[in-house]
Amino acid sequence: MPALTVAEIADLCGAQVEGHREHLITGADTLENATPKDLSFIANAKAMQAASASHAGCLLVTSAFDQKGTWSLVRVENPRSAFATALAALYRKPKPAASIHPTAIIAPSASIASDCFVGAYVTVGERAKIGASCSIGNGCVIGDDVIVAEGTTLYANVTLYDGVRVGARVILHSGCVLGADGFGFTLIHDRYEKFPQVGAVEIGDDVEIGANSCVDRAALGLTRIGDGTKIDNLVHVGHNCVLGRHVAVAAQTGFSGSVVVGDYAVIGGQAGIGEKVRIEARAIVGGKSGILPSHKIPAGEPVWGIPARPLRQHLKGLAHVAKLTEMRDEIRSLREKVAILEESQRKARPEA
């Protein structure tokens, strides 16, 4: 694992050092667990309170941090972001040496750049093209006419069906499947007949897709994932969906067919998105939300609940639900009082 001096960490972050410039940092950890050889960061008031007890060798902090300690300080605008930059340097993954394992099956018409790594039991179909500096893990299946651009990493057992196009510097984690048929069937008389799925899948540059996630091919046209989008594990993207640039999707979310998601939208875990939904740019869909088919979520709007509605309405509804028991008791008490009043009035009436 690489080791960096505090000065080198500061250079990575474009910042200045306060303390021991040449102190060597070999790892990173939380404030509570960090040792003098570790880097940590302070991003909020709670962490600032815990800083005095930390044994970290170096802290990434903002200009507001005013405590004194044994640590060296690197002052940055965004400590969390700077910490991510430093982590990438401290825990740099070694690039596998260029090679093609003897058990790999490569079609004669396939093209693989000379500096690629191709692992054991990989299959690469006819006319497939794999660009420079790609890493193809053990057991991957790459179909006919697939294009994988430069710098992309496929971990073990990724499957790319025929015709899938993957951009540059993409990361596909184990078990990821791109290009399987969309869920298209037509009920003819008393049985379902398959609607042929003849479209394709296109993945933009710098996309990351988590383990065991699936992106279905379009029935016609394209299912498309935009540049920089990050998709967690166990996510399903249905046929003809279009996810914009830099969308973030948490685990176990499902997109029905023909959903459109705008740039920089955020989708919480276990959300269910109905068919033909439109989620506009920078909208936020809370975890476990359900969006009914053909609905539109306005740009920048945070929504939550089932069915999903603006967050303020959702929270107001939760507050009302929390008061139901109290309201039930009040109604019961009022009914008893009304019954007593009615009984007293009945007794007070003169008999005819």
Helix (H/G/I), strand (E/B), else coil: 123: strand
The span from the CA of 154 to the CA of 281, in Å, is 29
pLDDT tens-place string over residues 127-171: 999 999 999 999 999 999 999 999 999 999 999 999 999 999 999
Residue positions counted in the chain: 352
> Per-residue confidence at 188, pLDDT binned at 50, 70, 90?
very high
b or e along 165-203 (b: 16 or more beta carbons within 10 Å of the residue's beta carbon)? bbbbbbbbbbbbbbbebbebeeeeeeeeeeeebebbbbb
pLDDT tens-place string over residues 241-256: 999 999 999 999 999 9
- What pLDDT is attached to residue 334? 86
pLDDT tens-place string over residues 302-311: 998 888 888 6
Quote the percentage of the chain above a pLDDT of 90. 76
Q: Is-contact 123 144, C-beta < 8 A? A: no
Mean pLDDT value of segment 278-301: 95
Q: Count the Cβ atoms, other than its own, within 10 Å of residue 13.
A: 20
Q: Is-contact 309 327, C-beta < 8 A? A: no
Mean pLDDT value of segment 327-346: 84
Mean pLDDT value of segment 1-6: 85
Beta pairing class for 165-166 and 185-188: unpaired
Q: How far is CA 181 from CA 194, 209, 215, 259, in A?
A: 10, 18, 9, 16
User: Quick one: DSSP state of residue 53?
Assistant: G
pLDDT tens-place string over residues 189-205: 999 999 999 999 999 99
> Per-residue confidence at 330, pLDDT binned at 50, 70, 90?
confident
> Which residues, including other chains, have CB under 8 Å from residue 341's CB and lie 6 or more apart?
none
- What pLDDT is attached to residue 301? 87
The span from the CA of 127 to the CA of 135, in Å, is 18
> Per-residue confidence at 93, pLDDT binned at 50, 70, 90?
confident
351 has a pLDDT exceeding 70: no
What stretches of 226-289 adopt beta strand conformation (E)? 230-231, 236-237, 242-243, 248-249, 254-255, 260-261, 266-267, 272-273, 278-279, 284-285
- What pLDDT is attached to residue 1? 62
Q: What are phi and psi of 246, to 5 degrees?
A: 55, 35
- What pLDDT is attached to residue 333? 86
Tokens of 327: 């309201």
Pick the more confident residue, 38 or 325. Answer: 38
Q: What are phi and psi of 27, to 5 degrees?
A: -160, -170
Q: What are phi and psi of 302, to 5 degrees?
A: -85, 130
Return the minimum-mean-pLDDT range out of 22-31, 49-58, 341-350: 341-350
- What pLDDT is attached to residue 47? 86
Q: Of 23, 173, 236, 239, which is the active-site residue? A: 239
Instruction: Judge whether 189 counts as a catalytic residue.
Output: no
Burial of 77 (0-12, 13-18, 19+ CB in 10 A): exposed
Give me the chain's average pLDDT, please.
93
352 has a pLDDT exceeding 60: no
- What pLDDT is attached to residue 227? 98
26 has a pLDDT exceeding 80: yes
33 has a pLDDT exceeding 90: yes
